[in-house]
Amino acid sequence: MVSLSQLKVITLISVFVVASTSYAGHHEKGEMQSAMEKALASQPDNVKARYVYRNPKETMDFFGIDEGMTVVEALPGGGWYTKILMPSLGTEGTLVGANYPTAIFKKFGYKDERIAKLKTWPTDWPTRVEEEKPVNSAKVSGFIMGELPPEMAGTADRFLFIRALHNLARFEQDGGHLTTALKSAYDILKPGGIVGVVQHEAPESASDKWASGANGYLKRDFVIAQLEAAGFEFLASSDINANPKDIPGKKDKVWRLPPTSDNKDMQAIGESNRMTLKFKKPTS
């Protein structure tokens, strides 16, 4: 039989173990949050100036991005999000750049010689990024959509299409580029992995032709339908990046707005109205 004094000791030990475990969990989560906050705080002023429009912390939280994950960024381009993601993911994480399908660049007027140089993008981009990334940052790699290396299949936790879908949709009928990109996203994600979309959103009243992507905007229903057709489950939407001041007319393009435009009237509107959507690759 256990004595009263022995019972008290057992109870105290149990309380200590539970408290220690709880503290460790909160401490670990706190470290993840601080890594992201530190990354955001370390950015130059011209990047921080976009926070009010792009809401990077809220957006990354919505997509469930944590330290140690493997995250794919579509069309990293100038690297606005790249520079935030690398330190946010930490040394145990990996950031993967995914460039547009090579054939789409002909639609942008690229000459054959320039397109040929894109073949080495999967190694050129990581090399350039590695040279300028901050300390305690994620590992970096890259691939071209439609040319996913077999060893990368099923390795990613998140795939981000941030302002990257309109050109893919624009040329879908002439090359299947959106279909190609979404298949690459599906293939590289782990079961249960998340696709995060931030995209210039067209008014529902706009014609489908105007909202084809040629003006930078897409309709929400169109984006959801395309992701679902690619096999993803629609989970949730958020108004994090919504801007009701952006009311484009029939002749307007998204590039009339900042940061592309320095027109004072456009500066007063701010950046585009953007949908923020979350999808999941099924677990079975």
> Mind giving me the DSSP string for 78-118?
T-TTHHHHHHHH-TT-EEEEEEPPGGGGGTTT--HHHHHHG
* Residue 111: CA count within 13 A, CB half-sphere: 2
**What domain range is 2 assigned to?**
1-41
Confidence of residue 177 (pLDDT cuts 50, 70, 90): very high
Amino acid 5: pLDDT = 53
pLDDT tens digit string along 203-225?
Answer: 999 999 999 999 999 999 999 99
pLDDT tens digit string along 68-91?
Answer: 999 999 999 889 999 999 999 999
Q: Are residues 210 and 93 in the same domain?
A: yes
pLDDT tens digit string along 96-111?
Answer: 999 999 999 999 999 9
Contact 119, 103 (CB under 8 A): no
pTM: 0.88
Contact 143, 152 (CB under 8 A): yes
Average pLDDT, the chain: 90
DSSP code of residue 194: E
Distance, C-alpha 282 to centroid of its chain: 19
Amino acid 2: pLDDT = 52
Amino acid 236: pLDDT = 98
CATH of the domain at 193: 3.40.50.150
Q: Are residues 48 and 7 in the same domain?
A: no
Q: Are residues 63 and 157 in the same domain?
A: yes
Q: Are residues 109 and 144 in the same domain?
A: yes
Q: Are residues 228 and 182 in the same domain?
A: yes
Q: Are residues 207 and 113 in the same domain?
A: yes
Least confident range of 23-32, 64-73, 250-259: 23-32
For the residues 36-53, what does the mean pLDDT come to? 96
Q: Which residue has the higher pLDDT, 161 or 25?
A: 161
